[in-house]
Amino acid sequence: MEELDHRRNLADAVYAILAPIYPDATPLLRYRNCFELLCAVVLSAQCTDEQVNRATPKLFAAWPDAESLAAADIDRVAETIHSVGFYKTKARHLVEASRLMVEKHGGEPPSSMEEMLALPGVGRKTANLVLSACFGQPGIIVDTHVLRVALRLGLGAKADPANMEARIAELVFPEKRSRFSHALNRHGKFTCTARKPACQACPLALICPRIGLPPS
């Protein structure tokens, strides 16, 4: 119980510090609608947001909605997105997910976690991101940046996204979860980076145990 209280207090403090620094609680991926967001997040696995943002304009120009992408030739889609990692698998996922969206959801991303996870290429990170951005549902989006920062802070102990999502859910009220995730994501991207965390300049330095890092 004491340990849970400690992590709750820590999460409260992290939120209080980071939320004003990163007030924009939206994805860094570029998109114009929920279909595009879902495609962009599927493409972002093992890939930077910048790489995805460079690839999606061509993809959406050729196939602007789920109907057209569902009918697309997978090899042509793969060719169009070849600059992102695992492009062949991702092309297949995009076309198959579009087919399911057309068949079952009127050509739009579905609004429940269960239906989201039934789409090819969609895991909990993608589902939480789309459900929060498109449907206002509380989502804890554990991508590589969020996982790394949360581990260093000690919000959870396992390097496993599903486990970290559950740990953060114990600490953060639903209405704050999306914002908390986006703030942690940006903090990981710009300050608490994988190779060279800027601990000296970090606004969390006084409360961060820097788990897994050498003493400063």
Binding residues vs ligand SF4 (CB under 6 A): 149, 152-153, 191-192, 197-199, 202, 204-205, 208, 210, 213
H helices of the chain, where?
Answer: 2-21, 34-43, 49-62, 66-70, 74-80, 87-105, 113-117, 124-135, 144-153, 161-171, 174-190
Question: Min. distance of Cβ 23 from ligand SF4 in angstroms?
Answer: 19
Query: Which amino acid, 168?
Result: I
127 or 146: CB nearest ligand SF4: 146
Which of these is catalytic: 49, 90, 143, 189?
Answer: 143
Pick from 80, 1, 77, 66: nearest CA to 34: 66
174 or 209: CB nearest ligand SF4: 209
Nearest 5 degrees, angle CA 42-CA 45-CA 46? 160
Q: How far apart are CA 143 and CA 165, in angstroms?
A: 10
28 or 202: CB nearest ligand SF4: 202
70 phi/psi in degrees, rounded to 5: -65, -30
Half-sphere exposure of 116 (CA within 13 A, CB side): 25
* Beta carbons of 59 and 39 less than 8 angstroms apart: yes
106 or 195: CB nearest ligand SF4: 195
Question: Min. distance of Cβ 104 from ligand SF4 in angstroms?
Answer: 42
Question: Min. distance of Cβ 184 from ligand SF4 in angstroms?
Answer: 9
Q: Is 73 in the active site?
A: no
Q: Is 143 in the active site?
A: yes
Question: Min. distance of Cβ 149 from ligand SF4 in angstroms?
Answer: 6
Which of these is catalytic: 104, 125, 160, 196?
Answer: 125
**Residues labelled as active-site residues:** 125, 143
